Amino acid sequence: MGGGGGTARKRPGLFVLLSAAILAGLGFTGCGGDDGGGPVELKWFIAIQPGGSIQKVAETCSKESGGKYKIALELLPTDASQQREQLVRRLGAEDPSIDLIGMDVVWTAEFANAGWIRPWKGADARAATKGVFPPVVETASFDGELYGAPFNSNTQLLWYRTDLVDKPPETWNQMIEMAEKLGRGDGGTIQLQANRYEGFTVWANAMIESAGTQVLSGPTSVELKEKPTSVALESMGRLSRSSAAPTNLTTSDEDTARLGFETGSAFMVNYTFAYGSAKENAPKVAENMGAARYPGIVEGRESKPPLGGFNLGISSYSKNADLAYEAANCLTAPAQQLVVTELDGLAPARADLYDDPKVKEAFPGFADLVRESIRSAGPRPVTPAYQDVSLSIQSALHPPTKIDPDDVGPSYDELKDKVEKGVKREGLL
């Protein structure tokens, strides 16, 4: 203590310096300029794929552009909710550093309604949708306009053990009976995705669609006809309370399901990656792995299998939108879709590619089944309030063990009530 007055007078100078440093720190934002010659850099935000197909197609298209653009990758996590989180935060802040967006099929309405992505028109739109499955085009459209170029598709099949099951079941009820007859110790369990996350919405939606109704009939109108919805809920409740339900039913996801199948379950509904995984991790199981159409609800009525995949959107805040459309058209061209199928086993979005040997090799013996499954798939609801609707479905029906198969009335009422609130974005979720 007790410095001389002289030093005290000097301190304000220090103060000014410090404040200036802090203010400079606060106000300084990194805006990298990328002027100058050379190709324009287009930033593509998309989920990472383990086989390296994203890097490969980005490289091919950059090369094919003849120096017009170069695609730089910003790879996102594999989890769809985390991908969306990272994107919406940037888009909500009008971040100009995004050009191309790999959009999960359920984001289109939300992104389009918020004005984050640009519509596709004319020749670009025609090129993007040529030969594409109608349900896939539906997932890329909102309000009568196309908002994305389908990049890849995905669907769930029924996987079963040919050494334990003679003939694959056609409905969930048949499958539950067959599994119960086999018995828990002998593979009599059904693997599926019923944790409280987007995968649960996928399952519930497929059940409701397959029963002959749908969650929404328009962006803000709830359908959920009572009779078919109740039949779907009966099957969900029945399975959850049956010996055919795996012990980790209420925490199961795609990965626990494939692990359960690889270690002995006779039945599983899962995406096509499950085949490659079994071949690698459980070759003996893979030898006896049969694929069939996703089970239905009512005998005689075909199921509406789940639909996944990515569409490419063009950010509204992109400074190089013209080039971005061009790049997106290249990235979703048939040749690139085949590369993605070859390297990562993802289903092409264009129906006419399924006769290509590369697709037949990626889906040995079940390429036609995948094509048929995508063609007749039941997409999840298209609405700008999709997150709210999905959370409402999860909140109403999870855990599925609470659905009483002998009296689904209360579950139906709760589902309808919550979805109605969800689509209006009311209340907490």
Partner 1 sequence: MSDRSKSERRLGWLLCAPAAIAMLAVTAYPIGYALVLSLQQIDLRFPDESGFIGLANYKAVLTSELWWTDVFNTVFLSVISVTIELALGMAIALIMHRAIFGRGLVRTSVLIPYGIVTVVAAFSWQFAFAPDTGFVNQLPLISDDMDWFGDRFSAFAVIIMAEVWKTTPFMALLLLAGLTTIDDGLYAAAKVDGATAWQRFVRITLPLMKPAILVALLFRTLDAFRIFDTIFIMTAGAQDTQSVSILGYNQLISRLNLGLGSAVSVLIFIAVLLIAVIFVKGLGTRQPGSGKA
Query: In sequence order, what E strands does 148-288 have?
Result: 149-161, 190-191, 216-218, 221-222, 267-271
Length of the chain: 429
Q: Which is nearer to partner 1, 221 or 263 (CB)?
A: 263
Give the shortest CB-398-to-partner 1 separation in angstroms.
Answer: 7
Q: Which is nearer to partner 1, 124 or 253 (CB)?
A: 253
- Helix and strand counts by DSSP (H, E) for the chain: 18, 12
Give the shortest CB-259-to-partner 1 separation in angstroms.
Answer: 5
Q: Quick one: three-class SS letters along 268-302?
A: EEEECHHHHHHHHHCHHHHHCEEEECCCECCCCCC
- Residue 98: phi and psi, rounded to 5, are -100, 130
Q: Which is nearer to partner 1, 31 or 428 (CB)?
A: 428
Give the shortest CB-360-to-partner 1 separation in angstroms.
Answer: 33
Place of tokens 């994107």: 87
Place of tokens 């299998």: 305
Give the shortest CB-273-to-partner 1 separation in angstroms.
Answer: 18
Strands 267-271 and 190-191: parallel
231 in Cβ contact with 303 (< 8 Å): no
Give the shortest CB-420-to-partner 1 separation in angstroms.
Answer: 15
Q: Which is nearer to partner 1, 375 or 402 (CB)?
A: 402
Q: Is 154 helix (H, G, I), strand (E, B) or coil?
A: strand
Give the shortest CB-22-to-partner 1 separation in angstroms.
Answer: 5
Q: Which is nearer to partner 1, 113 or 288 (CB)?
A: 113
Place of tokens 């009530």: 417
157 in Cβ contact with 270 (< 8 Å): yes
Q: Which is nearer to partner 1, 68 or 184 (CB)?
A: 184
Closest by CA position to 248, among listed 399, 420, 395: 399
Q: Which is nearer to partner 1, 31 or 93 (CB)?
A: 93
Closest by CA position to 422, among listed 212, 141, 199, 215: 215
Give the shortest CB-262-to-partner 1 separation in angstroms.
Answer: 10
The two three-digit tokens of residue 97, written as one number: 């550093």
Q: Which is nearer to partner 1, 15 or 28 (CB)?
A: 15
177 in Cβ contact with 243 (< 8 Å): no
Give the shortest CB-358-to-partner 1 separation in angstroms.
Answer: 34
Interatomic CA distance for residues 289 and 40, integer angstroms? 47
Q: Which residues bind partner 1 (CB under 8 A)?
A: 5, 8-9, 11-12, 15, 18-19, 22, 26, 81, 85, 88-89, 92, 110, 113-115, 195-197, 247-251, 256, 259-260, 263, 384-385, 387-388, 391, 395, 398-399, 425-429
